[in-house]
Structure 1
């Protein structure tokens, strides 16, 4: 295969130009390693097309040569979906040069962005038109909108605005043979056939390569208030969520649950973090309410509501000032980095139905501690939409490598609990090359067969991001019923 890949690389250099093709080890290194370091591969070249035509030409020539392509945006994924394998025979196709905002329609509340625009680019373009693109999470300055859509990214604001899928009206996609499907339509209603865009959103580049998208915008919030609430139990968090949704309607934008352990991690290691209350509490909720109305007293609404819920809100802090919000949100946003200072962690990005959250947290916590005394469950996440990051930090006296060697063991332990609650083992980070075996193990045989049929129909040669999402081999799913 190596000779064929070398010939293809020279061909792409001639067609696209030397500046579009990177081959030296020093230059390609940044494209080969997944963000957490769990996956690191090799490739013969990184190809960086400058427009959709060049992406199409690259894919067409790779398909003709039978060479596999690994699409990549900002390379901020957490499941190895954008990392090549170890063969060295794959081509990494980076979309980072597709950086144009093609159009903004404030009246229609839409924006057309190319796949290489960072999420922050898209947010800024929307803000420049006095509109909001609500997808948001910590990597906004690095991640690319093409990758956000390919993984159906979630983040902080799913409760009000939905996942990335709900923010897409149309797509432009390069298919496995190099043809371009132009589905850049800004229609809210179109029942003229299958909704093809939904095949590609969340497919992690295994069915086609997203090169541009029509994105749904929203009115820009004019008012925002933030509250940090101390709680006794996760059940109290669900009670508070129900009360606030009833009282605020769609003003409740974010609702983040944090256990005391991750808060302590942030207090020890997070910049600008301080303990918010005179005493520690087992659980905390960080919430945002926003409004685009010209006159709205959101702080007053929270100040009038939380004192009426003493059995749920044991203590609270409320602010509508930027500095105060940043201080409260620092506790939540510092958790992932702070956890790294506490040693190795085994991560679980799971979702369960909202009523099952307390049961899941209790069962998963007990099971992990029983399996390995001294382990430190670190639970936090977007509880408003049922997504919990149930991370496990190593016992302080345990060797890092010994702990990480038990990754599969603890994945199975936690994912099995999730499955009994009709949840998902891949809530917002995707499957990548980390979890295809769990797809085969935990999805039904019918689901796995449908996934393989779709993959076979749209990528019959298997050259688009092979080894990702869809389980390999003849293993089928199991009967969950």
Structure 2
């Protein structure tokens, strides 16, 4: 289906239907890829203030067959918000729809508009003595609508689940401009197809999320973290099993960190203090949050002692204060910035079954070094839920541009191995436009056919985020 550009005539017609100031020109670099590889485009930016204004915009775009790209905080890493070719679409930014509409502390529910910054939703929950547990490195700029559209994961999935698990209801504008009033606060609603979970993770290809009813949780009474040195990923996995047996669901996060990542951090961010004077080859960061009275430091120290007796850990540090716990997390959350400073040849957001991770990691390194013996691999991520960031880097002293001829091969090697291990080539970042070919290559054909049928049924003109997730036909 051929689309039309958001040209001057269309924009003039649309502007007449909206309050003054709703449309603005795009800013230089506004739609570019955060990793600096691609330049995005848009005819203009619409900034609606209400769901009715969103509906007016989408209805006009559908009638004129103009593409629509919903915009959150622009932090996505798979080009979901970056249109690089074809007719210039209209971007719909939710930057003016930031209200916390209501908080229901007794129900453990908060209702937020899609443009609300994730950190602001967390703060609103804290004001009600509750916790909204979704936590990402970009939480100071990403928006809750984008978090839901990509089914964001983050640091606390082990305990609380992905964004999908944190959402009870949605308000959204569908591709024909109709408003779906699905903003319910129910734990049980068994009334036919689950449109909410269809919209979550669809990356704006089935409609524009405008508000959400989100789950809240009791705030931990006491929190502590520990960094423990393990000999290898197998020991880390055994430590996870031991920790869950001892501490159950009070483990909020269990992160695997490689020596390569710590070395990158030393090189690029020497001001960040690391837990150990000499970076270990492997370590894990464990976060514990008790919802009842107790001593999390004591619990982590006891875990370390038992793990040491079993030969799973050789060194460790338990946080003695909130500041030290924060310092541990600063190390973990700064690794992506260090990666960016070093410059990856190819980055991979993957997941494999937990028990296969210890085999996957060295097998991937071996296959990559068969391509180029000096490739460095920084493997880190959310071991508790099987999500690894498995990134390939140039040798020290070389630039990633020297490996440009290998970039496609590097990605293929990693993703083929993921497929062999019955994993996923997109654990939490989504498909966007960057991974459309990967989806076609690795996804089950029956699922792909069903996805295309859903897209064609809800969006027959193909206006919603064209080219994202599914190839525009």
Whether the TM-score (by the shorter chain) exceeds 0.5 is yes
The 8 Å contact of residues 262 and 380 in structure 1, kept in 2 or not, is answered as yes
Distance 1:169 1:3 in 2: 36
**Corresponding residue for residue 19 of structure 1:** 21
The 8 Å contact of residues 6 and 44 in structure 2, kept in 1 or not, is answered as no
**Corresponding residue for residue 477 of structure 1:** none
**Corresponding residue for residue 73 of structure 1:** 72
Residue 20 of structure 1, CA deviation: 1.3
- Superposed CA RMSD in Å reads 1.5
**Corresponding residue for residue 307 of structure 1:** 305
Q: Specify whether residues 3 and 190 from structure 1 end up closer, same or farther in structure 2 by C-alpha distance, changes over 3 A only.
A: closer
Distance 2:4 2:367 in 1: 48
**Corresponding residue for residue 39 of structure 1:** 38
Superposed CA offset, 1:31-84 (max 9, x none): 321211233122211111111111000000000001010111110100110112
Q: Specify whether residues 361 and 137 from structure 1 end up closer, same or farther in structure 2 by C-alpha distance, changes over 3 A only.
A: same
Distance 1:320 1:118 in 2: 31
The number of aligned residues is 469
Residue 345 of structure 1: SS of its match in structure 2? coil
Distance 2:91 2:83 in 1: 7
Residue 4 of structure 1, CA deviation: 6.8
Q: Specify whether residues 4 and 387 from structure 1 end up closer, same or farther in structure 2 by C-alpha distance, changes over 3 A only.
A: closer
The 8 Å contact of residues 225 and 319 in structure 1, kept in 2 or not, is answered as yes
The residue correspondences of 1:178-217 to structure 2 (distance < 5 A) are 178-217=177-216
Residue 317 of structure 1: SS of its match in structure 2? strand
Could you tell me which runs of 5 or more consecutive residues in structure 2 were left unpaired when the two chains were aligned: none
Distance 1:202 1:109 in 2: 23
Q: Specify whether residues 219 and 48 from structure 1 end up closer, same or farther in structure 2 by C-alpha distance, changes over 3 A only.
A: same
Distance 2:107 2:189 in 1: 16
Residue 209 of structure 2: SS of its match in structure 1? strand
**Corresponding residue for residue 460 of structure 2:** 460
Residue 359 of structure 1, CA deviation: 1.0
**Corresponding residue for residue 249 of structure 1:** 248
* Structure 1 stretches of at least 4 aligned residues deviating more than 4 Å after TM superposition: 1-4
Could you tell me which runs of 5 or more consecutive residues in structure 1 were left unpaired when the two chains were aligned: 474-481
Distance 1:297 1:42 in 2: 53
The 8 Å contact of residues 173 and 181 in structure 1, kept in 2 or not, is answered as yes
The 8 Å contact of residues 240 and 384 in structure 2, kept in 1 or not, is answered as yes
The 8 Å contact of residues 230 and 312 in structure 2, kept in 1 or not, is answered as yes
Distance 1:308 1:317 in 2: 15
TM-score, normalised with respect to structure 1: 0.94
Distance 1:33 1:279 in 2: 38
The 8 Å contact of residues 43 and 87 in structure 1, kept in 2 or not, is answered as no
The more displaced of 277-286 and 71-80 is: 277-286
**Corresponding residue for residue 478 of structure 1:** none
**Corresponding residue for residue 127 of structure 1:** 126
Q: Specify whether residues 384 and 2 from structure 1 end up closer, same or farther in structure 2 by C-alpha distance, changes over 3 A only.
A: closer
The 8 Å contact of residues 272 and 330 in structure 1, kept in 2 or not, is answered as no
Distance 2:6 2:184 in 1: 39
Residue 88 of structure 1, CA deviation: 4.7
Distance 1:135 1:4 in 2: 35
The 8 Å contact of residues 343 and 399 in structure 2, kept in 1 or not, is answered as no
**Corresponding residue for residue 379 of structure 1:** 379
Residue 151 of structure 2: SS of its match in structure 1? coil
Residue 213 of structure 1, CA deviation: 0.3
**Corresponding residue for residue 12 of structure 2:** 10
**Corresponding residue for residue 369 of structure 1:** 369
Superposed CA offset, 1:354-388 (max 9, x none): 00111110111111112112111010000100000
Distance 1:138 1:159 in 2: 16
TM-score, normalised with respect to structure 2: 0.96
**Corresponding residue for residue 409 of structure 1:** 409
Distance 1:289 1:32 in 2: 38
Residue 373 of structure 2: SS of its match in structure 1? coil
Q: Does 1:447 align with 2:447?
A: yes
Distance 2:449 2:422 in 1: 20
